[in-house]
């Protein structure tokens, strides 16, 4: 029985093609890429005569068996343990909205549905909604109608989108919005269902939604917490 995880990769933009090639060789054609920057302070960069490092952040779904192979490949072929190469880590997946969506995101990997997550007692969830760029209003209208408080959007690019016709019978755009919504675990299913209905594959947004466990958080007022430490 294979667990499913979200694999997050952070590397320089120059090294990104090598990582994507490595993942493709390990049966991971579906993923999402966003761009970012390193966080070194400007005065340190000026002193060293360096520019701010340009980063790429990748996200993909892997089973535990595939992760073992990927990790071995990254160490032996990509030398990921060397400084300034990059970092890759996994987070247990709670759920994915829809069987076709699950098959799409885990394409080519041997997966059988088991327990929901290795973290079963969390009170909150992070919903990640991947939609066609420019249609976030559909996503948030559906989410708010089911009780979501708000979300944060970043732009990303999908890889392996040519696989979509095998699962959905339609093509998917590569330019994506990724919306992050933190919610109570008890509201997760309702919000995911609302997004699938109001902004899913049969709408212009063509959204895919999945959730990750949140073990703790601060700065969220969801109406039933005293805010006191225990």
Phi-psi region of 168 (alpha: psi -120 to 50; beta: other; left: phi over 0): alpha
Residue with the larger pLDDT of the pair 160 and 137: 137
pLDDT digits (tens, 9 = 90+) for 12-60: 888 888 888 878 777 776 789 998 776 555 665 566 565 557 888 999 9
Statement: residue 223 has pLDDT above 70: no
Give the pLDDT score at 87: 86
State whether the Cα torsion 198-58-28-114 is positive or negative. negative
Q: How far is it, in rounded angstroms, from Cα 148 to Cα 209?
A: 14
Q: How far is it, in rounded angstroms, from Cα 126 to Cα 21?
A: 29
pTM for the predicted model, two decimal places:
0.79
Q: What's the distance, Cα to Cα, between the start and end of the chain in Å?
A: 37
Name residue, tokens 């990997």.
109
Among 86, 90, 60, 91, smallest CA distance to 156 is for: 60
pLDDT digits (tens, 9 = 90+) for 177-216: 999 999 999 999 999 999 999 999 999 999 999 999 987 7
Query: Across residues 59-85, what is the average pLDDT?
Result: 87
Give the pLDDT score at 229: 44
């Amino acid at each position: 029985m294979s667990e499913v995880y979200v694999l997050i990769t952070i590397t320089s933009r120059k090294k990104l093609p090598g990582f994507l090639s490595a993942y493709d060789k390990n049966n991971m054609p579906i993923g999402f890429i966003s761009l970012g920057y390193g966080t070194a302070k400007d005065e340190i960069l000026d002193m060293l005569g360096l520019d701010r490092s340009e980063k790429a952040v990748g996200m993909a779904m892997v089973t535990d068996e595939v992760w073992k192979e990927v990790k071995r490949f990254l160490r032996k072929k990509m030398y990921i343990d060397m400084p300034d190469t990059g970092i890759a880590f996994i987070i247990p997946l709670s759920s994915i909205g829809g069987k076709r969506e699950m098959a799409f995101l885990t394409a080519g990997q041997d997966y059988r549905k088991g327990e929901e997550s290795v973290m079963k007692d969390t009170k909150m969830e992070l919903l990640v909604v991947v939609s066609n760029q420019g249609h976030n209003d559909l996503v948030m209208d559906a989410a708010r109608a089911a009780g979501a408080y708000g979300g944060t959007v970043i732009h990303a690019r999908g890889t392996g989108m040519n696989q979509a016709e095998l699962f959905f019978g339609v093509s998917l755009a590569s330019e994506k919005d990724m919306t992050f919504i933190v919610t109570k675990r008890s509201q997760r299913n309702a919000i995911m269902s609302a997004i699938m209905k109001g902004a899913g594959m049969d709408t212009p947004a063509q959204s895919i939604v999945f959730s990750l466990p949140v073990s703790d958080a601060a700065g969220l007022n969801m109406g039933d917490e005293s805010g006191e430490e225990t």
